[in-house]
Amino acid sequence: MINKGGRSGSGVMADAGAHSGLAPDPFGHAVALLPALPPDEPGDRYGLRLLTAAWLRSQRTEATRRGYYRDLAGWLDYCARTGLDPGAARRADIDDWSASMTVTVAGRSRPASASTRARRLAAVSSWYTYLQSNDVTDRNPTLLVRRPSSAQIAASARKAPTLSVAETAQLLDTAEGRAVDRGTEAAWRDAAVVALLFYTALRVSAFTGADLADLGTEAGYRVLWYRAKGKGPDGRDYVRLDGELCRVLDAYLTVRAGRHPDGVAPAGPLLATTPHPYDRAKTGDKRLTQRDVTNILRRQATLAGLPAAARLSPHSGRRTVITTLLGNDVPLAKVQDLAGHADPRTTRGYDDTNHKLASSPVTDLTRILAGHRTTSGRVQHADKSAER
C-alpha cells in the first residue's frame, strides 16, 4: 500500500516555501494529467505525484521518458476504470491488466503484441520500484507476473517487414541517387536516414537521439556513440560507421553546414529538420522524431518501387540487417553484439530466413546416408514399388 505523508513536514521542508516538494518542472504538469493518483498532501516532499515526476526525470533519454509516461498512463487508466487504488494493487490485478491490453491501429482495437505487453509491464515495474526505493509503497505487484519470453517478443517483432538483399540495395541506391540528383539538404538527410537504418541495426531512438558531438573515432575507426540498453554506467555504446554509410552521412553534414554563415552546423541533433521554404519562423535544426523517420523510409521505399513500402517501419531496418548477416553466415555472436541483444535467442528470433527449408538439416542427413547406401539397393526398392 502507499504510505501517504509518512516523510513530510520538518527539516529541509521548512525552507521549501510554497513549493515544499521536489523542484517543479514540465514533468509535474504531465503527471497532473494522470488518472488514479491521489493529490499530494501539502508540505509532503515525497508525495506520489512529485515522486512520479522525479521518476520520469530520472530516465536517461527523452524517448524513455515519453514511453514510460505513456505506459504508466495505461496502467493508471485501468486502475481508474476498475476503481482500483494503484497502491493497493496485487499480482492478480496486474495479470488482469496484462491479459486485457490492447492497441489501436487504424481506428481498430486489437490485442497487444508480446513486445508491447513486456514493455508496459517493465515501465510499471520501474515505477513501483522507484516508489519502493523512496519508502512510499510496500510492494511491487509486477514482480512475480509472468512476462512474455524473449522468443515471444522476437516473434512479435517479425511483424515488421524484412527486405531482401536486392530490395535493400535498391532502396539505398534510390535514396542516394535522388540526393545526388537534387543536391538538397533534405534529400541527403533522407539518404543518411536510410543508410543508418540498413547499415547499423540501430534502434531508431539511438540515432534520432544522437547529436553531432556523438560522432567520433575509436582505434582509428569512425563510430557513432548512442544511448543503449544495459551498456555500462552511463548507458552508452558505439557502432562502427563504414565506407558506404560514411559517404552519405558526410555529404549530408557538408550540405547542412553550408547553409550556416561560417560553414559549420551548430551543436545539435545528428539528424535534423530543414528550414521551411515559406515560413521563416521554422528555421530547421530540430531533432527528427520516430514518425519523421518512418515517413522518410516509406517515401524512399515507394520511390524505389518496393511492394512493402507502405508497411515498413524503422524496425524493418534492424530486422533486415540481422536477417541479411545471419543469412550470409556471419557468426551469431557477432550479429548479437551488433544488435545489442543480451540473449542470442532474441537475435535468432529476428532472423526472417526459413531455416527449416533453406538450411534444413534434412539435406545434411540425406548427404550422410547417401554415402552408405548402394545404388542397386535403391534401384531394387524402386523396382518393387513399381511392381506394386
pLDDT per 10-residue tile (average), the chain, 388 residues:
48 33 70 94 93 93 85 97 96 97 82 90 97 95 90 67 94 97 97 97 93 95 86 76 94 93 84 89 90 97 96 94 90 89 78 62 74 61 50
139 phi and psi angles, rounded to 5 deg: -145, 160
Contact 175, 300 (CB under 8 A): yes
**Residue 312, pLDDT score:** 96
pLDDT score of 15: 31
User: What are φ and ψ of residue 332, in 5° steps?
Assistant: -55, -40
230 within 8 A of 337, measured Cβ to Cβ: no
Q: Is the Cβ–Cβ distance between 237 and 226 less than 8 Å?
A: yes
Answer whether 261's CB lies under 8 Å from 198's CB: no
Query: Cell 527486405 maps to which residue?
Result: 163
Distance of CA 157 to the CA centre of its chain: 11
Q: So what's the pLDDT on residue 158? A: 58
pLDDT at 11: 32
CA torsion angle for 102, 108, 114, 118 (degrees, to 10)?
-40
The model carries a pTM of 0.61
The answer to whether residues 273 and 284 touch, using CB atoms and an 8 Å cutoff, is: yes
C-alpha–C-alpha distance, residues 258 and 260, integer Å: 5
pLDDT at 19: 38
The domains found in the chain, sorted by start residue, are: 11-148 (1.10.150.130), 165-351 (1.10.443.10), 354-388 (no CATH)
The grid cell for 34 is: 494522470
H-type helices in the chain, by residue range? Answer: 26-31, 48-57, 62-82, 91-100, 114-133, 150-157, 165-182, 185-200, 204-208, 243-258, 290-303, 314-327, 332-339, 344-350, 355-358, 361-370, 375-387
**Lookup: cell for 283:** 528555421
Q: pLDDT value at position 345? A: 74
Q: How far apart are CA 69 and CA 119, in angstroms?
A: 12
Buried b or exposed e, range 278-288, using 16+ CB within 10 angstroms: eeeeeeebebb
Strand order in the sheet with 215-218: 215-218, 221-227, 236-240
- CA–CA distance, 269 with 262 (Å, rounded to integer): 18
Residue 230: its pLDDT value, please? 57
Which residue in the block uniquely carries the three cell numbers 543469412? 327
pLDDT of residue 356: 54
What pLDDT is stored for residue 388 in this prediction? 53
Give residue 248's pLDDT.
Answer: 97
